[in-house]
Amino acid sequence: MDCKLSQDQKGSISQRSLWFMAVYAIYILAGFIGISFVSFPPGHLSVVWLPSGIAFLAILLLGPTATIPVFLGSLTIKLPFLYQENAAVFSLLILTIAAAIETFQGWYAHKLWNKFFNTKGIDSGSDVLTFFTRVAFLPCIATVWIIVLLFISTGYIKNDMGMWQLWLENTVVITMAHTLGIFLMVALYQSYWLIKQDPWTAKEFKIGLASITALLAICAISFSLTDLTLYLILPVFLVLIINTGYAGSSIALSLISFWTIVATANGHGPFVSTDTYLSMIHIMVFLLCLGLTMQFSALTLDNLNANKRQMVSTIEKRTEELEKKNRQLLELASTDHLTGLCNRRSFEKIANKELERAQRYQTPLSILALDLDFFKTVNDTHGHLFGDEVLQLFTKACLECLRKTDLMARLGGEEFVVLLPETTEYLAANVGEKLREAIESISAISPENIKVSVTCSVGVTTGTMQDENIAMLLHRADEALYDAKKLGRNRVSIYKRMGTDTGVILPQ
């Protein structure tokens, strides 16, 4: 939960003063609702005092300066009920002290929040208990008893019972009312942020609306006909929690709280009693148990779902990384690191499949065996690094002469091979001659600043129906290559045939 408004957010309405006016208005409105709809006689005792929650959130979001509208709002709410014209100064003093104590309550709650939660919000089941006891309840019990004692000693709270019994009952009821006010307001505020950050899907919205409607219907039946149906709240709440999580349970809890208090105040439901204090205690215990249980369950389930999503995401990420690593390893295992061409293992695997396809569909398949002439001399004279550079230039020149369907591979050292699918022996010889001419035209500058040119010899053969594997073609191509070298190098030789000195194949 985001616990601070940014400067842009604070200034988006226009001025900080407008935020304070909004806090003041909302505080008074919440107090009016508490006194008019969710309170019991005598003295307009509220079961849930929402202004406590408003005060806490205002100070938490706007900072300590929000204590000003909170103080003024508290004073404004109390004036119509507790101001006495015959003792104007004294009553104003008492009301000011009470308003200051209530304001301190919100400030103290905000300090405890920053201590235990800071900006992380309530995000686990254990956090619900921590928040209720240390952030909601502790500031209320620390302040309410003083206000009640002040009002009893000055005669604002009167009853036939003894002073200490009166003080105890009022302290318990008002403390729980303030605590529930903070508890419910924070739950609604955090639900707002959860829905804003991760909006409900259409399915979640429909199930949430149906579940909340069902809960209110159960409450209506329980508070008007029979209280036995009240137990049905639990399974419906469970459905709501499974589908909408913490946000849905908080909204439903707030509506049920309002319904329960209003119905009981009007003499309906299982919590009605001749003793007002006892009736209020019953409602508070019911709402407290329901709220803590449902929110604990909702957050626990939310965390389980979040952990499940994180685990699935982690597994998918790891799987993707493993697949990437496997592809890289496969590429390393099948690729010559210097030239980027296929290595012998990879070439033979692909070429064998091409041979099977050519034999099945009776299409020609030819192979060129290439070898750089006197390459050992180049290495010995100019060094292996320069030799590597020559091999890379050789590879580039060859690839520029080949089709995309052709496959070139480095078998080792200066030995290369080219697979030519759907190419006859005569056309393959022409490709070999094209490659020989391209190699003959390239040159490189050695470290000694000498221009070095290279040539290559080429052996040509084509597949037959009798070939069992690509190794048989490679053997024939090597024999043709040996013939080309024996005849003086820098030429193309067809298996069992030889070319001219220029490497042009003679037609048969």
Residue with tokens 């309002």: 258
Is 10 a residue whose pLDDT tops 50? no
pLDDT digits (tens, 9 = 90+) for 106-140: 999 999 998 888 767 788 888 899 999 999 999 99
Give the model's pLDDT for residue 24: 92
H or E stretch at 494: strand 492-494
DSSP assignment, residue 157?
A: S
Confidence of residue 326 (pLDDT cuts 50, 70, 90): confident
The string of DSSP codes covering 367-378 is EEEEEETTHHHH
Band of pLDDT at residue 265, cut at 50, 70 and 90: confident
Confidence of residue 67 (pLDDT cuts 50, 70, 90): very high
- Helix or strand holding residue 420 (H, E): strand 415-421
* pLDDT value, residue 159: 65
CA distance 87 to 104: 26
Please name the residue ranges forming H helices in 132-162: 138-153
In this structure, what token pair is assigned to residue 302? 């939310």
pLDDT (average), residues 478-491: 92
Q: Are 76 and 61 in contact (CB under 8 A)?
A: no
Which residues are registered as beta bridge partners of 46? 39
CATH superfamily label, 344-494 = Reverse transcriptase/Diguanylate cyclase domain (3.30.70.270)
Q: Is the pLDDT reported for residue 75 higher than 60?
A: yes
* Average pLDDT value for residue range 184-199: 89
> Cα–Cα distance between 126 and 299 in angstroms, integer?
9
Give pLDDT tens digits for 434-480. 999 999 999 999 888 989 999 999 999 999 889 999 999 999 999 99
pLDDT score at 501: 40
Query: Tokens in use for 373?
Result: 């002439």
Identify whether the C-beta of residue 350 lies closer than 8 Å to the C-beta of residue 419: yes
In the structure, what pLDDT confidence band is assigned to residue 372 with cuts at 50, 70 and 90?
Answer: very high
pLDDT confidence tier of residue 42, bands split at 50, 70 and 90: low
Q: How far apart are CA 261 and CA 333, in angstroms?
A: 74
pLDDT exceeds cutoff 90 at 352: yes
The confidence band for 491, taking pLDDT boundaries of 50, 70 and 90, is very high
Q: What is the mean pLDDT of residues 335-356?
A: 90
Residues in CB range of 173: below 8 A, 6 or more apart: 45, 277, 280, 281, 284
> Would you say residue 44 has pLDDT above 60?
yes
Contact 425, 364 (CB under 8 A): yes
Indicate whether 4 pLDDT > 70. Answer: no
Q: What's the pLDDT at 62?
A: 87
CATH of domain 1-197: 1.10.1760
Q: Are the C-beta atoms of residues 166 and 159 closer than 8 Å to each other?
A: yes
pTM: 0.65
Does position 309 have pLDDT exceeding 90, yes or no? no
The secondary structure element, H or E, covering residue 128 is helix 125-130
Q: Decide if pLDDT at 163 tops 90.
A: no
pLDDT of res. 14: 52
Question: Phi and psi of 452, rounded to 5°?
Answer: -115, 125
Instruction: With beta carbons less than 8 A apart as the criterion, state whether 21 and 4 touch.
Output: no
Q: How confident is the model at residue 154 (pLDDT cuts 50, 70, 90)?
A: confident
Higher pLDDT, 7 or 485: 485
- Residue 279 exposure: Cα atoms within 13 Å on the Cβ side: 24
pLDDT-derived band at 158, boundaries 50, 70, 90: low
Quick one: CA torsion of 124, 125, 126, 127, rounded to 10 degrees?
50
Average pLDDT over residues 389-415: 92
Distance CA 347, CA 318 (A): 31
Nearest one of 305, 293, 246 to 122, comparing CA atoms: 246
The reply to whether omega before 507 is within 30° of 0 (cis) is: no
Percent of the chain residues past pLDDT 90, beyond the cut: 46
Say whether 93 sits in a helix, a strand or coil.
helix
Least confident segment among 14-23, 178-187, 435-444, 470-479: 14-23
Residue 227 DSSP code: G
Domain map of the chain by residue range? 1-197, 198-334, 344-494
Name the more confident of 145 and 508. Answer: 145
**Band of pLDDT at residue 9, cut at 50, 70 and 90:** very low
Amino acid at residue number 144: V
Total Cβ atoms within 10 A of residue 93: 12
Q: What is the reported pLDDT for 276?
A: 82
**Would 1-197 and 344-494 be classified into the same CATH topology?**
no
Half-sphere exposure for 446 (CA within 13 Å, toward CB): 15
Number of H helices, E strands in the chain: 16, 9
**Whole-number Cα distances in Å, 490 to 400, 440, 502:** 19, 8, 8
Longest dimension (CA), the chain: 133
Pairing of strands 365-372, 415-421: antiparallel
Give the pLDDT confidence of 416-437 residue by residue, as tens digits.
999 999 999 999 999 999 999 9
CA–CA distance, 317 with 443 (Å, rounded to integer): 47
Instruction: Give residue 274's pLDDT.
Output: 83
> Cis before residue 447, ω within 30 degrees of 0?
no
| Residues β-bridged to residue 493 | 459
What residues does 459 pair with on adjacent strands?
369, 493
Whose CA is closest to 263, among 300, 218, 232, 298?
A: 218
- Rounded mean pLDDT, 70-84: 84
Helix or strand or coil: residue 247? helix
Amino acid 264 reads: T
Read off the pLDDT band of 391 (50, 70, 90). Answer: very high
Segments in 154-226 forming alpha helices (H): 163-197, 202-224
Instruction: Yes or no: say if 70 and 106 are a contact pair by the CB < 8 Å rule.
Output: yes
Residues 6 or more apart whose Cβ sits within 8 Å of residue 370? 398, 415, 416, 417, 418, 432, 435, 456, 457, 458, 459, 481
- Residue 411 to residue 417: CA distance in whole angstroms: 7
